[in-house]
Amino acid sequence: MAEKKSLGKEFSKGIIRENPVLRLVLGTCPTLAVSVAVTNAIGMGIAATLVLVCSNVVISALRKIIPSKIRIPAYIVVIASFVTIVQMLVKAFVPALNDALGVYLPLIVVNCIILGRAEAYAGKNPVGASFFDGLGMGVGFTFALIVMATIREIIGSGTFLEGIDSLTALFGATSFTGFKLLENPIGVMVMAPGGFLVFGLVMALANKVAEGRGKPKAELKGCDACPMAHSCSLHGTEESCENKEKEESAS
């Protein structure tokens, strides 16, 4: 199936049609945690995209060598290596971002998007297609992060692009340090409840848009409802939660 699609399609599907955050509901933890400020969202998006593209390419290149039984640990080693590299780069060049992202930077390792794409796509498809799949998914992730962060930062902190100079300093520009928009921001939006709320509303909007185009919405049922199904070793076997549920409802 992959051979028939053009590489451009591999790339663009991740941005809207199969947006990892809004449509596939993957990688929710970093999305909620990092989307308090647009600068953090951009930084996290770039870091995750780098890891996603690199690990997709390497896993795809090794797909015939890795035995299927130990593929999950093998994927994790590949992903963890790239995360460590990215972590060191961020620490060295953008220390402010490293402080802002904190523990979520190393936690890219367990970001379901990356392992999910490795399992669902890169492990089965050629290197070129996997590269564009990773890039598209990464851009889609960044896009969703920026959308959420924009809403939360403007309402919650009353600023926009605050602290962006820590990123642009890499290119020698430090004069622009963000806008100040509101005098009395609603602080709860940058706290945990605001994160859940904005995420829910943005996802509802994405569903609405997709529905208008006749695309089915994300369903909550059995293994499909489980964001971890891709990395679950019982997925599709008799012992899976899906079948357990069926057994329970039958009895």
Q: What is the contact surface with another protein in residues (CB under 8 A)?
A: 25, 28-30, 32-33, 72-73, 76-77, 80-81, 83-84, 87-88, 102-103, 106-107, 109-112, 115, 188, 191-197, 199-201, 203-205, 207-208, 211, 217-220, 225-228, 231-234, 239-241, 244
Tell me the closest approach of the beta carbon of residue 77 to another protein, in angstroms.
7
Q: Whose Cβ is closer to another protein: residue 24's or residue 129's?
A: 24
As beta bridge partners, residue 160 has: 179
Contact between residue 241 and residue 222 where contact means Cβ atoms under 8 Å apart: yes
Tell me the closest approach of the beta carbon of residue 217 to another protein, in angstroms.
7
Three-state DSSP at 159 gives strand
Q: Whose Cβ is closer to another protein: residue 80's or residue 127's?
A: 80
In one letter, which amino acid is 125?
N
Tell me the closest approach of the beta carbon of residue 176 to another protein, in angstroms.
29
Tell me the closest approach of the beta carbon of residue 62 to another protein, in angstroms.
17
**Phi (first) and psi of residue 117, to 5 degrees:** -70, -35
CA pseudo-torsion sign 43, 125, 221, 211? positive
Tell me the closest approach of the beta carbon of residue 66 to another protein, in angstroms.
15
Q: Whose Cβ is closer to another protein: residue 180's or residue 208's?
A: 208
Find the Cα–Cα–Cα–Cα dihedral 174, 180, 181, 185, rounded to 10°. 130
- Residue that the structure tokens 């640990």 belong to: 73
Distance, in Å, from the CA atom of 86 to the CA atom of 96, rounded to the nearest integer, reads 15
Q: Whose Cβ is closer to another protein: residue 166's or residue 240's?
A: 240
Token pair of 211 as six digits: 């529905």
Q: Whose Cβ is closer to another protein: residue 124's or residue 217's?
A: 217
